[in-house]
Chain A
Amino acid sequence: SFELTQPPSVSVSPGQTARITCSGDALPKQYAYWYQQKPGQAPVLVIYKDTERPSGIPERFSGSSSGTTVTLTISGVQAEDEADYYCQSADSSGSYVFGSGTKVTVL
Protein backbone atom coordinates (compact mmCIF):
# COMPACT_ATOMS: atom_id res chain seq x y z
CA SER A 1 0.00 0.00 0.00
CA PHE A 2 1.03 3.64 -0.02
CA GLU A 3 0.90 6.61 2.35
CA LEU A 4 -0.52 10.12 2.20
CA THR A 5 0.90 12.83 4.46
CA GLN A 6 -1.06 15.84 5.69
CA PRO A 7 -0.21 18.58 8.22
CA PRO A 8 -2.04 18.02 11.52
CA SER A 9 -3.52 21.49 11.66
CA VAL A 10 -4.09 24.72 9.76
CA SER A 11 -5.36 27.95 11.28
CA VAL A 12 -6.93 30.74 9.29
CA SER A 13 -8.85 33.94 9.93
CA PRO A 14 -12.33 34.40 8.49
CA GLY A 15 -12.23 35.65 4.92
CA GLN A 16 -8.66 34.48 4.37
CA THR A 17 -7.45 31.51 2.33
CA ALA A 18 -6.66 28.10 3.80
CA ARG A 19 -4.41 25.69 1.96
CA ILE A 20 -4.14 22.06 2.99
CA THR A 21 -1.48 19.88 1.41
CA CYS A 22 -1.35 16.13 0.91
CA SER A 23 1.83 14.40 -0.22
CA GLY A 24 2.44 10.91 -1.51
CA ASP A 25 4.59 9.12 -4.04
CA ALA A 26 1.52 7.66 -5.77
CA LEU A 27 -0.12 11.01 -6.43
CA PRO A 28 1.50 11.71 -9.82
CA LYS A 29 -0.17 8.52 -11.07
CA GLN A 30 -3.39 8.42 -9.05
CA TYR A 31 -6.17 10.91 -8.48
CA ALA A 32 -6.77 12.51 -5.10
CA TYR A 33 -10.05 13.11 -3.34
CA TRP A 34 -10.88 15.39 -0.42
CA TYR A 35 -13.43 14.99 2.36
CA GLN A 36 -14.71 17.35 5.03
CA GLN A 37 -15.80 15.91 8.38
CA LYS A 38 -17.45 17.87 11.14
CA PRO A 39 -17.72 16.49 14.70
CA GLY A 40 -20.23 13.67 15.02
CA GLN A 41 -20.98 13.63 11.30
CA ALA A 42 -20.07 11.41 8.37
CA PRO A 43 -17.49 12.71 5.90
CA VAL A 44 -18.59 14.73 2.87
CA LEU A 45 -16.82 14.62 -0.49
CA VAL A 46 -15.67 18.14 -1.46
CA ILE A 47 -13.20 17.48 -4.31
CA TYR A 48 -12.77 14.48 -6.63
CA LYS A 49 -10.21 13.64 -9.32
CA ASP A 50 -7.78 16.28 -7.98
CA THR A 51 -9.74 19.34 -9.09
CA GLU A 52 -13.42 18.54 -9.65
CA ARG A 53 -16.09 19.84 -7.30
CA PRO A 54 -19.29 17.81 -6.70
CA SER A 55 -22.59 19.56 -7.15
CA GLY A 56 -23.66 21.39 -4.04
CA ILE A 57 -20.12 22.11 -2.84
CA PRO A 58 -19.41 25.87 -2.61
CA GLU A 59 -17.09 27.39 -5.21
CA ARG A 60 -14.69 28.50 -2.48
CA PHE A 61 -13.45 24.90 -2.34
CA SER A 62 -10.90 24.06 -5.04
CA GLY A 63 -8.21 21.48 -5.65
CA SER A 64 -4.89 21.43 -7.44
CA SER A 65 -2.10 18.98 -8.13
CA SER A 66 1.62 19.29 -8.70
CA GLY A 67 3.92 16.28 -8.74
CA THR A 68 3.68 14.34 -5.49
CA THR A 69 1.54 16.99 -3.74
CA VAL A 70 -2.13 17.87 -4.02
CA THR A 71 -3.66 20.90 -2.35
CA LEU A 72 -7.15 21.72 -1.13
CA THR A 73 -7.75 25.48 -1.10
CA ILE A 74 -10.59 27.14 0.75
CA SER A 75 -10.94 30.74 -0.40
CA GLY A 76 -12.76 33.25 1.77
CA VAL A 77 -12.95 30.86 4.72
CA GLN A 78 -16.14 30.94 6.73
CA ALA A 79 -16.74 29.81 10.31
CA GLU A 80 -18.72 26.83 9.01
CA ASP A 81 -15.60 25.53 7.25
CA GLU A 82 -14.02 24.60 10.57
CA ALA A 83 -13.67 20.83 10.33
CA ASP A 84 -11.27 17.96 9.72
CA TYR A 85 -10.20 17.45 6.13
CA TYR A 86 -8.90 14.18 4.69
CA CYS A 87 -7.23 13.46 1.39
CA GLN A 88 -7.66 10.02 -0.13
CA SER A 89 -6.38 8.09 -3.10
CA ALA A 90 -6.51 4.61 -4.57
CA ASP A 91 -4.07 2.45 -6.47
CA SER A 92 -4.67 0.04 -9.32
CA SER A 93 -4.48 -3.00 -7.01
CA GLY A 94 -7.70 -2.15 -5.19
CA SER A 95 -6.10 -0.44 -2.21
CA TYR A 96 -7.62 2.77 -0.91
CA VAL A 97 -5.82 5.07 1.51
CA PHE A 98 -6.74 8.14 3.55
CA GLY A 99 -4.35 10.76 4.77
CA SER A 100 -4.06 11.34 8.51
CA GLY A 101 -6.31 14.38 8.38
CA THR A 102 -5.90 18.11 8.91
CA LYS A 103 -7.87 20.07 11.47
CA VAL A 104 -8.83 23.49 10.11
CA THR A 105 -9.42 26.07 12.81
CA VAL A 106 -11.12 29.35 11.96
CA LEU A 107 -9.71 31.97 14.32
Chain B
Amino acid sequence: EVQLVESGGGLVQPGGSLRLSCAASGFTVSSNYMSWVRQAPGKGLEWVSILFSSGAAYYADSVKGRFTISRDNSKNTLYLQMNSLRAEDTAVYYCARWYYYDSSGRGFDYWGQGTLVTVSS
Protein backbone atom coordinates (compact mmCIF):
# COMPACT_ATOMS: atom_id res chain seq x y z
CA GLU B 1 0.00 0.00 0.00
CA VAL B 2 1.30 3.43 -0.94
CA GLN B 3 1.60 5.89 1.92
CA LEU B 4 3.14 9.35 2.35
CA VAL B 5 3.59 10.70 5.86
CA GLU B 6 4.72 14.28 6.41
CA SER B 7 6.27 15.61 9.60
CA GLY B 8 8.27 18.57 10.84
CA GLY B 9 5.67 21.30 10.78
CA GLY B 10 5.17 23.72 13.64
CA LEU B 11 5.38 27.31 14.79
CA VAL B 12 8.42 29.32 13.68
CA GLN B 13 9.28 32.99 13.87
CA PRO B 14 9.65 35.13 10.75
CA GLY B 15 13.14 34.72 9.34
CA GLY B 16 13.48 31.29 10.88
CA SER B 17 14.01 27.85 9.33
CA LEU B 18 12.20 24.54 9.31
CA ARG B 19 12.75 21.19 7.62
CA LEU B 20 9.80 19.11 6.53
CA SER B 21 10.03 15.36 5.96
CA CYS B 22 7.87 13.05 3.88
CA ALA B 23 8.38 9.35 4.51
CA ALA B 24 7.19 7.15 1.67
CA SER B 25 6.19 3.51 1.67
CA GLY B 26 4.95 1.26 -1.13
CA PHE B 27 7.18 2.82 -3.79
CA THR B 28 10.70 4.21 -4.22
CA VAL B 29 11.08 7.97 -3.87
CA SER B 30 14.26 8.14 -5.94
CA SER B 31 12.56 6.50 -8.94
CA ASN B 32 9.69 8.96 -8.98
CA TYR B 33 8.97 12.66 -9.33
CA MET B 34 8.19 14.02 -5.87
CA SER B 35 6.68 17.37 -5.08
CA TRP B 36 5.57 19.71 -2.30
CA VAL B 37 2.26 21.54 -2.56
CA ARG B 38 0.97 23.97 0.06
CA GLN B 39 -2.38 25.43 1.04
CA ALA B 40 -2.69 28.57 3.11
CA PRO B 41 -5.63 28.61 5.57
CA GLY B 42 -8.86 28.99 3.63
CA LYS B 43 -7.01 29.35 0.32
CA GLY B 44 -6.30 27.25 -2.74
CA LEU B 45 -3.50 24.87 -3.63
CA GLU B 46 -0.10 26.28 -4.53
CA TRP B 47 2.67 24.21 -6.07
CA VAL B 48 5.98 24.73 -4.25
CA SER B 49 8.69 22.46 -5.63
CA ILE B 50 9.41 19.22 -7.47
CA LEU B 51 12.37 16.82 -7.52
CA PHE B 52 12.71 14.66 -10.61
CA SER B 53 14.14 11.15 -10.48
CA SER B 54 17.12 12.57 -12.39
CA GLY B 55 17.87 14.89 -9.48
CA ALA B 56 16.71 18.05 -11.24
CA ALA B 57 14.77 20.36 -8.93
CA TYR B 58 12.33 23.16 -9.71
CA TYR B 59 10.72 25.79 -7.53
CA ALA B 60 7.86 28.25 -7.57
CA ASP B 61 9.04 31.84 -7.88
CA SER B 62 7.60 32.57 -4.41
CA VAL B 63 10.09 30.22 -2.71
CA LYS B 64 13.06 30.20 -5.08
CA GLY B 65 16.31 30.87 -3.24
CA ARG B 66 14.73 30.18 0.17
CA PHE B 67 13.50 26.57 -0.04
CA THR B 68 15.47 23.46 -1.02
CA ILE B 69 13.99 20.10 -1.94
CA SER B 70 16.04 16.94 -1.44
CA ARG B 71 15.74 13.23 -0.72
CA ASP B 72 17.46 10.51 1.28
CA ASN B 73 17.37 7.33 -0.75
CA SER B 74 18.38 5.14 2.20
CA LYS B 75 15.37 6.40 4.17
CA ASN B 76 13.02 6.64 1.17
CA THR B 77 12.20 10.14 2.38
CA LEU B 78 11.66 13.52 0.72
CA TYR B 79 12.59 16.77 2.46
CA LEU B 80 11.86 20.46 2.16
CA GLN B 81 14.34 22.79 3.84
CA MET B 82 12.65 26.15 4.37
CA ASN B 83 14.79 29.18 5.24
CA SER B 84 14.01 32.89 5.66
CA LEU B 85 10.40 32.05 6.41
CA ARG B 86 7.73 34.70 6.03
CA ALA B 87 4.19 35.04 7.35
CA GLU B 88 2.89 34.26 3.85
CA ASP B 89 4.55 30.84 4.00
CA THR B 90 1.98 29.81 6.63
CA ALA B 91 0.16 26.82 5.17
CA VAL B 92 -0.48 23.11 5.26
CA TYR B 93 2.33 21.50 3.29
CA TYR B 94 1.54 18.33 1.38
CA CYS B 95 3.99 16.02 -0.31
CA ALA B 96 2.71 14.31 -3.42
CA ARG B 97 3.95 11.99 -6.11
CA TRP B 98 3.84 13.24 -9.69
CA TYR B 99 3.29 10.00 -11.57
CA TYR B 100 5.38 10.09 -14.74
CA TYR B 101 4.80 7.11 -16.97
CA ASP B 102 5.27 6.36 -20.63
CA SER B 103 6.80 9.80 -21.28
CA SER B 104 3.88 11.73 -19.90
CA GLY B 105 2.63 12.98 -16.57
CA ARG B 106 -0.33 11.23 -15.02
CA GLY B 107 -0.92 13.78 -12.26
CA PHE B 108 -0.30 14.02 -8.53
CA ASP B 109 -1.68 10.59 -7.76
CA TYR B 110 -0.67 10.09 -4.11
CA TRP B 111 -0.75 12.73 -1.38
CA GLY B 112 0.20 12.81 2.27
CA GLN B 113 -2.10 14.12 4.98
CA GLY B 114 -0.18 17.39 5.25
CA THR B 115 1.76 19.16 7.98
CA LEU B 116 0.94 22.67 9.20
CA VAL B 117 3.62 25.36 9.18
CA THR B 118 2.82 28.58 11.02
CA VAL B 119 5.15 31.55 10.67
CA SER B 120 4.40 34.07 13.37
CA SER B 121 6.08 36.05 16.12
State the A residues within 8 Å of B (CB): 1, 31, 33, 35, 37, 42-45, 48-49, 52, 54, 84, 86, 88, 90, 93-101
Q: Is the interface of B mostly helix, strand, loop or mixed?
A: strand
* Closest A residue to B58 using CB positions: A94
Q: Is B44 an interface residue (CB 8 A)?
A: yes
Least Cβ–Cβ distance between B72 and chain A, in angstroms: 22
Are A31 and B58 interface neighbours, CB within 8 A?
no
30 A/B residue pairs, CB under 8 Å, sorted by A: A1-B61, A31-B104, A31-B105, A33-B105, A33-B107, A35-B45, A35-B107, A42-B111, A43-B37, A43-B108, A43-B111, A45-B108, A45-B109, A48-B107, A49-B106, A52-B106, A54-B107, A88-B47, A93-B58, A94-B50, A94-B52, A94-B58, A95-B58, A96-B47, A96-B58, A96-B98, A97-B47, A98-B37, A100-B44, A101-B44
Give the total of B residues in contact with A, Cβ under 8 Å: 24
> Residues of A contacting B114 with CB < 8 Å?
42
Least Cβ–Cβ distance between A9 and chain B, in angstroms: 13
Given contacts A96-B50, A100-B44, A48 and B106 within 8 Å (CB-CB): yes
Least Cβ–Cβ distance between B70 and chain A, in angstroms: 16
Are A101 and B45 interface neighbours, CB within 8 A?
yes
